[in-house]
């Protein structure tokens, strides 16, 4: 499959060193990433607990990049105002937590926020189809939400490609983002399936390489998979 877009990188701060958070975000920003991805977990919808609006506000103050909050929490509507006040520009909700998804989307719109929807790896993909014309972003989870550093689930490829087909059918400009296990070995597959943004956690914030080197390696891989596309034309 041939794609002409430049794929965007959205580092998740989940695996960052929280004692040096602003510094690490600055390193990612200078290396040319596009969005900061904030993984909010409540110990209820997912087992793990991360952080809430206060940390998101501190992150948003520390960067000029847009910030998106991925809310892995039950009853997310209760906190939309708080995340808006924290300075995030996009909120991503799980369809599993939003039985009244149309109203949820309207609430986000009324707050002037960009709207993202997502779903767990084995939630039937049809669950998001009726909402595609209403959203700015669809996020395909390629791991079970809850932890960083997990392995990419191979059946995600088909799900990304299916949603790419649906978005193209309705000429939607919505972003198609993929989250979980995206690294140097999986980034080309994800791009080739049709993603326009990838979330990268441990592939950017890890003990092995600096943030700048990690971002550079991902950018280089992306250039190489673009070259493969061109060769296959
Ligand atoms: C998973 C989170 C992801 C995750 C990404 O629950 O939504 O954003 O932290 O981390 P990696 O890239 O390490 O899988
Ligand atoms: Zn996420």
Residue 228 pLDDT level (bands cut at 50, 70, 90):
low
Ligand 1 center–CA 233 separation, angstroms: 33
Residue 220 placed within a domain = yes
Which ligand 1 atom is nearest residue 146's CA?
6
Q: What is the pLDDT of residues 34-64, one digit of tens each?
A: 999 999 999 999 999 999 999 999 999 999 9
Q: In this structure, is residue 1 part of a structural domain?
A: no
Atom of ligand 1 nearest to the CA of 183: 12
Task: Label residue 4 by pLDDT band (50, 70, 90).
Answer: confident
pLDDT(3) > 70: no
Ligand 1 is surrounded, with C-beta below 6 A, by: 12, 14-15, 37, 39, 70, 143, 145-150, 179-182, 199-203
| CATH number of residue 58's parent domain | 3.20.20.70
The predicted model gives 98-107 an average pLDDT of 98
Does residue 191 belong to any structural domain of this protein? yes
Query: What is the DSSP track for 104-132?
Result: HHHHHHHTT-EEEEEE-TTS-GGGGGGGG
Q: Which ligand is nearest to the CA of 13?
A: 1
Looking at beta carbons, which pairs linking 86-90 to residues 24 or more positions away fall under 8 Å? Answer: 86/53, 86/54, 86/56, 86/57, 86/60, 87/56, 87/57, 87/60, 87/61, 88/38, 88/56, 88/60, 88/113, 89/113, 89/114, 90/35, 90/66, 90/114, 90/115, 90/116, 90/136, 90/137
* Residues, Cβ < 5 Å to ion ligand 2: 39, 70, 179
Cβ neighbours for 231, distance < 8 A, ≥ 6 positions apart: none
Distances (CA, A) of 14 to 37, 103, 168: 9, 29, 32
Res 230: pLDDT: 62
Residue 31's pLDDT is what? 98
Query: pLDDT digit string (tens) for 17-42?
Result: 999 999 999 999 999 999 999 999 99
pLDDT tier at 226, thresholds 50, 70, 90? low
Q: Is position 60 within any domain? A: yes
Checking if the pLDDT of 2 tops 90, the result is no
Distance 233 CA to ligand 2 centre (A): 33
Of 27, 39, 136, 192, catalytic:
39
Catalytic (active site) residue 179: yes
State whether residue 216 is helix, strand or coil: helix
Residue 3 lies in a domain: no
Q: How many structural domains compose the chain?
A: 1
Mean predicted confidence (pLDDT) in 169-191: 98
Q: Average pLDDT for residues 143-172, to the nearest whole number?
A: 98
Task: Output the average pLDDT for the chain.
Answer: 96
User: 118 lies in which domain range?
Assistant: 8-232
Please state, for a pLDDT cut of 70, what percent of the chain lies above it.
95
Is the pLDDT at 89 greater than 90, yes or no?
Answer: yes
pLDDT of residue 5: 81
39 catalytic? Reply is yes
Residue 2 lies in a domain: no
Q: Which of 28, 39, 118 should be mutated for ligand 1, with most atoms under 8 A from CB?
A: 39
Q: Dihedrals φ, ψ of 69, to 5°?
A: -105, 125
- Please check whether residue 226 lies inside any domain of the structure: yes
The residues, ordered by sequence, that sit 6+ positions from 165 with a Cβ below 8 Å of its Cβ are: 194
Nearest atom within ligand 1 for CA of residue 12:
8
Q: What's residue 227's pLDDT?
A: 62
Task: Find the mean pLDDT for residues 144-170.
Answer: 97
pLDDT over 80 at 229, yes or no:
no
Distance 98 CA to ligand 2 centre (A): 17
Please report whether residue 157 resides in a domain: yes
Catalytic residue, candidates 27, 42, 136, 179: 179
């Amino acid at each position: 499959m041939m794609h002409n877009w430049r794929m965007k990188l959205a580092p998740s701060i989940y695996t960052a060193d929280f004692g040096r958070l602003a510094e690490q975000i600055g390193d990612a920003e200078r290396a040319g990433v596009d969005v900061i991805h904030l993984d909010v977990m409540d110990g209820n919808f997912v087992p793990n607990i991360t952080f809430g609006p206060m940390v998101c506000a501190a992150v948003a103050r520390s960067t000029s990049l847009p910030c998106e909050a991925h809310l892995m929490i039950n009853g997310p509507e209760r906190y939309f105002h708080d995340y808006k006040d924290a300075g995030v520009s996009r909120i991503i909700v799980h369809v599993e937590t939003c039985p009244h998804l149309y109203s949820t989307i309207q609430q986000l719109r009324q707050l002037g926020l960009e709207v993202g929807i997502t779903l767990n790896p084995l939630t039937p993909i049809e669950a998001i189809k009726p909402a595609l014309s209403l959203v700015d972003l669809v996020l395909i989870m390629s791991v079970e939400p809850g932890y960083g550093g997990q392995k990419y689930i191979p059946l995600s490829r088909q799900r990304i490609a299916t949603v790419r087909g649906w978005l193209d059918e309705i000429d939607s400009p919505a972003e198609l983002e993929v989250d979980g296990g995206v690294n140097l070995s999986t980034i080309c597959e994800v791009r080739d399936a049709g993603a326009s943004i990838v979330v990268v956690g441990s592939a950017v914030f890890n003990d092995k390489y600096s943030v700048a080197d990690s971002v550079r390696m991902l950018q280089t891989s992306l250039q190489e998979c673009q070259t493969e596309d061109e060769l296959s034309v």
